[in-house]
Amino acid sequence: MICNSTGPKTNRSNLWDESIMKKSMLLLALAFSVALGFLASPALAADADITVRSVYHPDRSRTDLQSNLVDGTAESKTYDPKGKLLQRMTYKIDEKGQPIEGNAYSPDGKLLFHFSYKRDNFGRVSEERNSDVDGKLIRRWVYRYDEKGRIAGADAFDAEGRRISGESKTLNKTAAKRSR
């Protein structure tokens, strides 16, 4: 949780810095995409106990991921094009290498938020929950899939269950056109 250091002392949950949260959520979405690609990939076969990979993104940033199936953990680090650390994420993974839950950290190691995933009967992420460092729900993402099982989009909801305006994302433009 990021708190303002100026102003009167108030409830910590009211001090959440929205701009940092939005940047962190974008990095989390990027990490989620990376996690889906890395952690559920065929390269994590039973004989590959530890896997290390790097993905280079269109903006020239890079995400490195190390997965350890023996101890059920993974860690991703995202760097800007100049190699500066932007964010570190730690994951608890299942026996298939899929993320169950994790934590997001700032470049200086400060815990930003916690996230967890629910899966549907097909093993796909159906819901992602983000909570602050005290465990209070901040945001919940509900993922949609097209008829071929491809991720089509996600909607965001606040802690009270209200849809957050402007916080939906379409991840598969072809599926989005077909669902209209």
**Cα distance between residue 90 and residue 75, in whole Å:** 4
Could you list the pLDDT tens digit for every one of the 180 residues in the chain? 333 333 333 334 433 444 444 445 555 555 555 454 444 444 444 456 889 999 999 999 999 999 999 999 999 999 999 999 999 999 999 988 899 999 999 999 999 999 999 999 999 999 999 999 999 999 999 999 999 999 899 999 999 999 986 656 655 544 444 444
Rg (CA), the chain: 17
**Cα distance between residue 138 and residue 160, in whole Å:** 9
Backbone dihedral angles phi then psi of residue 94, each to the nearest 5 degrees:
-85, -175
Judge contact between 151 and 172, C-beta under 8 A. Answer: yes
pTM for the predicted model, two decimal places: 0.66
